[in-house]
Amino acid sequence: MSAFIKDLLELQFLQNAVIAGILCSIASGVVGTYVVLKRITYIAAAISHCVLGGLGAARYFSVVYDLPWLRPVYGAIFTAIASALLIGFISLRAKEREDTIISALWAIGMAVGVLFIFKTPGYNEDLMSYLFGNILMVSREDLYLIALLDVIVIGLTVAFYHQTVAVCFDEEFARTRGVAVEFYYLLLLCLTALTVVLTVSVVGIIMVIALLSLPVAIASRFFDSVWKIMIAATLLGITFTLSGLIFSYAPDLPSGALTIVIAGVTYFLTLIWFSLKKSHIAKAESDVTS
Amino acid sequence: MSSLEAVVSFSDVNFAFEDGITVLENINFSLEAGEFACLVGPNGGGKTTLLKLILGLLKPVSGSIKVLGEAPSRRQAQIGYVPQFSKFDAGFPVKVLDVVLMGCLQRSFFWGPYSEEQIEKARMALAAVGLQGKEERGFSDMSGGQRQRALIARALVSEPRLLLMDEPTASVDVHGTEQFYRMFEELNQKFTILMVSHDVGFVSARVKSVLCVRKTLQIHPVSELTGEALQSIYGLDVHVIRHDHRCTEKGHVCPHS
């Protein structure tokens, strides 16, 4: 830990990593709350896997056609928004078989990405960092982009808070009040898409869904209003990503994986604690009545 | 607008889903202001569909529906809707007062904290359903009956002219049901009520008219609601049990005993 702090003061990539962890946790805490409450973790996971297609395609065209301005993240943003809107329209229109279509998109997105990465000349090590994340490779430009996306996510959440919470709680009632339910549903999916893109750099495509849902799952055990859960999930997310970064540094472990393990263990400890507490209360009550 | 004008009127309404299955056929009825009407009928008979047509969530294939003299979609603001209880996520982290405040949402956009006036209206709506003092409780911590009351308060907060309720007593035990019907009678002083219900026995003692839906619609004045009428609605295989409860100062007297 002391080695980490010493290096943090000197090495810019480490400072970038810390800032990226904090900035990503803000968006994933806020948007993750919607994802968990609206029960669309499956859709969020599908979007995150589709992102590989965009990353791979953008990198391929950038290398093959010598387009240095075309960064992989732009491809990721485009694919994420496109797949979010596509899935959104499918789930609004299709009455059944929704999950089958979403699974198909999930797999096709990944397959396209793998093909592009395979055909891209040069080293293909990027595939691993896309899948499992590499927070130490986050650049200054990435940070500006993540900060911009944070501003968008927070701005839209503050502006549309009542409407989005009402849509999560009871879509049909919101519709009877004249709320534009379809618009807010697609908005939530687009926010999810943007958040997924920036979280991919921290924990990678495969583990994004854990960073979106685990802090919220823990926070929702302690708080009973949506905005409190958003704040608590953000703080938990920061704790998890930073502790993952710090504890992986000295033994040279992959920080994304360690972050998820820490978050997962905390989640299950919380569950155990609450079930013990519940059985303790039940026992105390039965002692009183007997 | 005169108070005698029909709150809801259906003329020759037909409804079918996209797959072509006819749900409602040739529906004609109207609901006067101050009415307390009950929709009964077998599952899949079209009760909820009929409510959704009034709400403007579904459009009829043919025929015309008027709510307070206008198309349903233009009158949504004047309708308070209490959906079926069973579809709610029991763990949703929200306070009772915030659930009720969702009833303040409207077509025109607004953001920021709710106004003092809206919060005051929400408190009054909670008081009207007997939940005063429970504003800060978590929705998920309450009993089924209390949650149901909170959902009714959410429908009341926008001060509707018409209250539509879809099986509002489904989550309430028999004892609680009696209290609910007393509450509905009070609400009926201010609102026109149309509710979907399964327990016909309880209903007939208080409700002014019963609309029986089974693809087509029959209206029964409550006094005529006999076993035969019920049988024609629910099909032949129905066992009618009479509930002629009469409570006096001497306690519970059952006419069969």
Option in B55, B93, B109 nearest A226 (CB): B93
Question: How many domains does chain B fold into?
Answer: 1
Distance from CA of B174 to the nearest CA of A (A): 26
Residue count of chain B? 257
Sites in chain A below the pLDDT cut of 70:
1, 95-96, 123-125, 288-290
Nearest residue to B217 via CA among B57, B53, B82: B53
Is residue A77 within 8 Å of A149, Cβ to Cβ? no
Q: Which residue of B has its CA nearest to A226?
A: B93
Q: Which of A39, A154, A156, A169 to mutate to test the interface with B (most CBs of B within 10 A)?
A: A169
User: What pLDDT is attached to residue B242?
Assistant: 43
Q: What are phi and psi of A124, to 5 degrees?
A: -115, 30
Q: Rg of chain B's alpha carbons, rounded to an integer?
A: 19
User: What pLDDT is attached to residue A2?
Assistant: 77
Q: Which of A37-46, B205-214, B228-237 has the lowest mean pLDDT?
A: B228-237
| Residues on chain A touching B140 (C-beta within 8 angstroms) | 224
- Report the C-alpha gap between A231 and A234 in whole angstroms: 5
| Residue B228 included in any domain | yes
Residues B13, B19, B24, CA angle at the centre, nearest 5°? 25
Is residue A200 within 8 Å of A109, Cβ to Cβ? no
Q: Which of A34, A161, A165, A170 to mutate to test the interface with B (most CBs of B within 10 A)?
A: A170
Q: Is B158 helix (H, G, I), strand (E, B) or coil?
A: coil
| Residues on chain B touching A157 (C-beta within 8 angstroms) | none
Distances in whole angstroms, Cα of residue B21 to Cα of each of A240, B15, B25, B45, B46: 53, 9, 11, 12, 11
- Residue-averaged pLDDT of chain B: 80
| Residue B130 included in any domain | no
Nearest residue to A208 via CA among A42, A48, A35: A48
Task: Tell me whether strands B192-196 and B36-40 are parallel, antiparallel or unpaired.
Answer: parallel
Please list the residues that pair with B36 across neighbouring strands: B193
Cβ–Cβ pairs < 8 A, chains A and B: 79
| Residue B101 included in any domain | no
Give me the percent of chain B exceeding a pLDDT of 70. Answer: 81
pTM: 0.86
- Report the C-alpha gap between A207 and A196 in whole angstroms: 10
Whether B249 shows a pLDDT value over 80: the answer reads: no
| Residue B33 included in any domain | yes
Residue B36, domain CATH:
3.40.50.300
Please list the residues that pair with B251 across neighbouring strands: B248
User: What pLDDT is attached to residue B204?
Assistant: 59
Nearest residue to A211 via CA among A239, A191, A247: A239
| Residues on chain B touching A163 (C-beta within 8 angstroms) | 105, 109
Q: Which residue of A has its CA nearest to B101?
A: A162
Nearest residue to B180 via CA among B146, B231, B224, B135: B146
Nearest residue to B56 via CA among B77, B41, B35: B77
Distances in whole angstroms, Cα of residue B202 to Cα of each of A285, B110, B143, B254, B256: 36, 42, 22, 15, 17
Q: Which residue of B has its CA nearest to A166?
A: B102
Please indicate whether residue B244 or residue A32 has the higher confidence score (pLDDT). A32
ipTM score for this prediction: 0.83
Cβ contact (<8 Å) for B102 and A162? yes
Where does A18-289 sit in CATH, by number? 1.10.3470.10
Confidence of residue B51 (pLDDT cuts 50, 70, 90): very high
Please tell me if residue B84 touches chain A, with a CB cutoff of 8 Å. no
Please tell me if residue A233 touches chain B, with a CB cutoff of 8 Å. no
- Report the C-alpha gap between A226 and A235 in whole angstroms: 14
| pLDDT 10s digits, A118-169 | 888 876 667 778 888 888 888 888 899 889 989 999 999 999 999 999 999 9
Distances in whole angstroms, Cα of residue B145 to Cα of each of A248, B86, B164, B170: 51, 12, 18, 9
DSSP string covering B68-118: TTB-GGGSGGGEEEE--GGGS-TT---BHHHHHHGGG--SS---SSPPHHH
Q: Is A80 helix (H, G, I), strand (E, B) or coil?
A: helix
Q: Which two tokens stand for residue B158?
A: 């926008």
- Report the C-alpha gap between B106 and A203 in whole angstroms: 40
Cβ contact (<8 Å) for B140 and A224? yes
> How close are the terminal C-alpha atoms of chain B, in Å?
51
Please tell me if residue B17 touches chain A, with a CB cutoff of 8 Å. no
Q: Which residue of A has its CA nearest to B57?
A: A176
Distance from CA of B48 to the nearest CA of A (A): 13
User: What pLDDT is attached to residue A283?
Assistant: 79
Nearest residue to A168 via CA among A26, A40, A10: A40
- Report the C-alpha gap between B132 and B111 in whole angstroms: 26
Please indicate whether residue B38 or residue A290 has the higher confidence score (pLDDT). B38
Option in B55, B93, B139 nearest A176 (CB): B55
- For residue B229, what are the domain limits? 8-87+161-253
Please tell me if residue A179 touches chain B, with a CB cutoff of 8 Å. yes
- Report the C-alpha gap between A215 and A243 in whole angstroms: 14
Distance from CA of B58 to the nearest CA of A (A): 11
Cβ contact (<8 Å) for B111 and A159? yes
Confidence of residue B222 (pLDDT cuts 50, 70, 90): low
Option in A170, A174, A220 nearest B93 (CB): A220
Residues 4-63 of A with CB under 8 A from B: 37, 39
Query: Which residues touch B25 (CB under 8 Å, ≥6 apart)?
Result: B14, B215, B216
- Report the C-alpha gap between A94 and A68 in whole angstroms: 40
Whether B49 shows a pLDDT value over 70: the answer reads: yes
- Report the C-alpha gap between A159 and B57 in whole angstroms: 26
Residues A114, A117, A123, CA angle at the centre, nearest 5°? 135
Distance of CA B26 to the CA centre of its chain: 22
Is residue B122 within 8 Å of B153, Cβ to Cβ? yes
| B73-105 core/surface letters (b: 16 or more CB in 10 A; e: else) | eebbeebbbbbbbeebeeebbbbbbbbbbbbbb
Residues 219-238 of B with CB under 8 A from A: none
Residues A47, A196, A92, CA angle at the centre, nearest 5°? 40
User: What pLDDT is attached to residue A15?
Assistant: 93
Which helix (DSSP H) or strand (DSSP E) does residue B248 occupy?
A: strand B246-248
- Report the C-alpha gap between A71 and A126 in whole angstroms: 13
- Report the C-alpha gap between B145 and B194 in whole angstroms: 19
Query: Which residues touch B210 (CB under 8 Å, ≥6 apart)?
Result: B37, B38, B39, B40, B200, B203, B204, B219, B220, B222, B225
> How close are the terminal C-alpha atoms of chain A, in Å?
53
DSSP string covering B121-139: HHHHHHHHTT-TT-TTSBG
- Report the C-alpha gap between A72 and A55 in whole angstroms: 5
Distance from CA of B106 to the nearest CA of A (A): 5
